[in-house]
Structure 1
Amino acid sequence: MSESDSDLSEARVRKAEELRARAESDEGSAPNHGDPVHVDGPDEFQSLLDEGGVVLVDFYADWCGPCKMLEPIVADLAAETDATVAKVDVDQQRQLAAQYQVQGVPTMYLFADGEPVERVVGVRQKPELASLIEQYA
């Protein structure tokens, strides 16, 4: 192994340690205002709905191409609207996906005061989703 390979290897190890430390310090902390909330189970999902107001829920899968296209739009909506924006991984939360009859991803639900008021299947552009949120805000 040459000296430059050794330096590169050490830099990778340092960077991995920094990322691990940052991830550990972020665990358990509340999400930043404007960040989508990643739902970890039915109880957390229900708590979001119980808070009232407008909640946009993005049912997605990591392997889904259209979901990846929608991700920056969902993040922008979380940052730019007063609505709570939640993300539910259908592979990890099969019970929630079944409860809301999610058969394809992406599927988004809009809740107002805890009740589902709109269902959107497929990728939509930001203005359309923002307008939908505003109708119930």
Structure 2
Amino acid sequence: MQTAPDPAMASEPSREQIDAGSGWLLLEFGATWCGHCQLAKPLVAALVQQHGVPHQWVEDGKGRPLGRSFSVKLWPTLILLRDGQEVGRVVRPAVADDLDALAATLAR
């Protein structure tokens, strides 16, 4: 018996698409039920707004290949990419200062 594809996975970009990207991209791996993820939402929103960086939220968990390809272990994990290459990473930001390194990279 064949099962219907998971719509959330269908909208998830592939690693190949991410690697082929151009310009800036902030990937945010998390889960909708994650308390740490909810705490970080306004911090991430402020960073995205302040720097105008494209942002992609990715539902992560068991069977999600994109998170595994980036070795995501804890949520939220923010990965800053430039032209498909990782240039910064922050895990479980709790205060705005936790995102200073990403902001500094974007400001260069």
Structure 1 114/76 Cα, relative in aligned 2: closer, same or farther at 3 Å? Answer: same
SS at match of 2:11: coil
Question: Is 2:20–2:84's contact at 8 Å kept on the other side of the alignment?
Answer: yes
The number of residues matched between the two structures is 98
2:3 corresponding residue in structure 1 = none
For the pair 1:59 / 2:29, whether they are aligned, the reply is yes
- Picking from 63, 77, 90, the partner of 1:107 is 77
Structure 1 44/114 Cα, relative in aligned 2: closer, same or farther at 3 Å? Answer: closer
Quote how far apart the aligned CAs of 1:63 are: 1.6
Question: Is 1:49–1:55's contact at 8 Å kept on the other side of the alignment?
Answer: no
Quote how far apart the aligned CAs of 1:95 are: 0.9
For the pair 1:42 / 2:19, whether they are aligned, the reply is no
CA-based RMSD:
2.8
CA distance in 1, matches of 2:96, 2:16: 23
Of Structure 1 and Structure 2, the greater helix share is in: 1
CA distance in 2, matches of 1:80, 1:115: 22
2:93 corresponding residue in structure 1 = 123
Question: Is 1:78–1:85's contact at 8 Å kept on the other side of the alignment?
Answer: yes
Taking structure 1 as the reference length, what is the TM-score of the superposition? 0.58
Counterpart of 1:56, as a letter, is L
For the pair 1:83 / 2:53, whether they are aligned, the reply is yes
Identify unmatched segments of 5+ residues in structure 1. 1-38
Identify unmatched segments of 5+ residues in structure 2. 1-9
CA distance in 1, matches of 2:59, 2:90: 16
CA distance in 1, matches of 2:15, 2:74: 22
Structure number with higher relative contact order (C-alpha < 8 Å, ≥ 6 residues apart): 2
Bigger CA radius of gyration: 1
Question: Is 2:79–2:89's contact at 8 Å kept on the other side of the alignment?
Answer: yes
Percent identical pairs in the alignment equals 31
Taking structure 2 as the reference length, what is the TM-score of the superposition? 0.71
